[in-house]
Structures are given as structure tokens and as C-alpha cells.
Amino acid sequence: MKLLNSRILLAGTASLLLLGACNSEQSAKPAATSPAPAAKEAAEATVNGIVISKKRVDMIVKQAAGAGQPESPEARQGIVDKLIMQTLVAEEAIKKGLDKTPEIMEQIELLRQSVLANAYVQDLVKNSAASDEMVKAEYEKIKATITGSEYKARHILVEKEADAKEIIARLKKDAGSFAKLAMEKSKDAGSKLRGGDLGWFDPSRLVPEFAAALGKLEKGAITQEPVKTQYGYHVILLEDSRPIEAPPLEEVKPQLAQQIQQQAVAKHLEDLKAKAKIEPAAAPAAPAAVK
């Protein structure tokens, strides 16, 4: 599973818009030129003749729910209250002519582009769903790259090499005391109480010295010399090994479908950029040297 999860996914393909972002552009326009909702459209409130539509509130409620905010009558009323205040304040800004200042006009244009870009990406996501055949092909491709073995082992970690050698000497006389010695001697808090048991693991997750020593052991064998790593000195018991197998297709199908979808979106966006004529601004000229 972890091998299949390791692919880099395109993050944040369509971020939710904040309450202010959803409404700033329309609120910033003069009331006289703002398109009024259709007559039959239900209104949540009217502020100085400007309608706050139910459709707009529904959209914000839906976005909030997608972000994990529970829907409730109180939450909905809170959104309406914020829209009312936002509308009032935006009207005052227009009266002062703030909507005509270069900085505010730039922000409005940036917001317009952001909304349109998000809408385009959301449309891409909706139309880039992976078919069962695509998911199966991706699964087989990844499955073919999964090789090697995973191990089940125990270890005892101590600070001094002499302590590790003493433990090895005791284990030569009584190999069955490994778990007991681990609980008594090991300084690895994560495995100590389990008798040094590390469970099943992929050796690639371990420090190289530990993995190399493990790979030389036969099933049931204990390292005959302390294994030094950055953590101290280890005594290792290999209990079992088995080939690494891919999880069943049905188990990873949803994440593979999402991965394929995100890769398709990323490729489309990269193609757009590759086809575009992008001209970086010329670097400013260096100041003349003072003589």
C-alpha cells in the first residue's frame, strides 16, 4: 500500500473560495449596474435594494460544508449576516470611489481570474475521471515495479558495543531468551515492551547498516557481531521473510483513480503553459559605474 501511495499527487486542484472572495467582485460594483437576480429567484435578504439571493447563500453553505464546517440554521444565518455587512460596507466603498482606484481594480481583476481559473480546473477534474481499464493498467504497471522482500524481526538496542557483545554471548547459550533480554536491556522504547518485535517491514525504511545486516541472516538466526548505526549497537533476530506483494486492486482502486485523474489535470495544465507565449520581463539595466 505504501509503495502505491508514494507517487506525488497534484495538490489543491480546486481550492474553496472564502466568503469574501465569493462576493467581493459583485459587491464592489455600483448598485445601479449590478445585475439583479431574476424576479422569481428567492432572496435571503435585501440591503438598500440589493438582493442577497438564496442561491448565493446556498453556494457558500455548500463550500463551507466541503471544508468540514457543519451545516445548521445558525451557520446559515451567520453567512447571511456577513453578506449583509459586506454589502453595506462595499456600498460605502463605492460611494467613496474606492472601486475606481488602481489598486482595488487590480484586486478585482485578480479575483475574477482566480474564480475563472478555479472553475476551469473543476471542469477539468469532472471530465478527467479514470475508466476501469485505465485504473487496471496503472495498477499492473506499478505492480510490476514491486520487488524484493519484507522481513519480520526483533532487535535489542544498546549504547555500548561491549553491552551488545555480552547480549550476543548470552543468546548463544539461550537463543530463546531474546524477547526477555530485549525487555530488560533495549533502549528502543517503541519495541522494548514487545520483546524487541519490529513486526513486518520493508528494509528500505531502515538505516542502511541495519538493512544490510538483516539481509545476510538466515531465518531464525541472530547477528554474531553488534550492528552499529547512528542510534547505537543492535543485536538482530530474523524471524521470517517473504516476497513483497501488491495489495489487491479493489483495495487501492479509489486512490489510483484519483491519481490518474490528477495526473491528467496536471498534464493538461502543463500543455497549456507549454503552448502559451510567455515572455519574462527584461531585467533592469545595471547602474552605470561611478568614476
The DSSP code for 219 is T
Instruction: Look at residue 233 in the predicted model and tell me its pLDDT.
Output: 98
Q: Fold for domain 149-243?
A: Chitinase A; domain 3 (3.10.50)
The alpha carbon dihedral of 11, 14, 19, 23 has a sign of positive
Q: What is the pLDDT of residues 263-273, one digit of tens each?
A: 999 999 999 99
Instruction: Look at residue 125 in the predicted model and tell me its pLDDT.
Output: 94
Instruction: Look at residue 30 in the predicted model and tell me its pLDDT.
Output: 40
Instruction: Give Cα separations from 150 to 46, 198, 241 (angstroms).
Output: 66, 12, 6
Pairwise CA distance, residues 48 & 260, whole Å: 49
User: For residue 84, is pLDDT > 90?
Assistant: yes
Q: What is the pLDDT of residues 198-218, one digit of tens each?
A: 999 999 889 999 999 999 999
Pairwise CA distance, residues 260 & 245, whole Å: 22
Query: pLDDT band for position 6 (50/70/90)?
Result: very low
- 186 C-beta neighbours (distance < 10 Å), count: 24
Enumerate the domain spans of the chain.
16-112, 132-142+247-275, 149-243
Pairwise CA distance, residues 78 & 72, whole Å: 10
User: For residue 170, is pLDDT > 90?
Assistant: yes
Pairwise CA distance, residues 196 & 180, whole Å: 9
- In total, the chain counts a number of residues equal to 291
> How confident is the model over 217-244, as a mean pLDDT?
96
**Which residues are registered as beta bridge partners of 238?**
153
Q: What is the pLDDT of residues 46-80, one digit of tens each?
A: 999 999 999 999 999 999 998 998 899 999 999 99
- Helices 249-275, 102-126: crossing angle, 10 deg rounding: 140
> How confident is the model over 124-130, as a mean pLDDT?
93
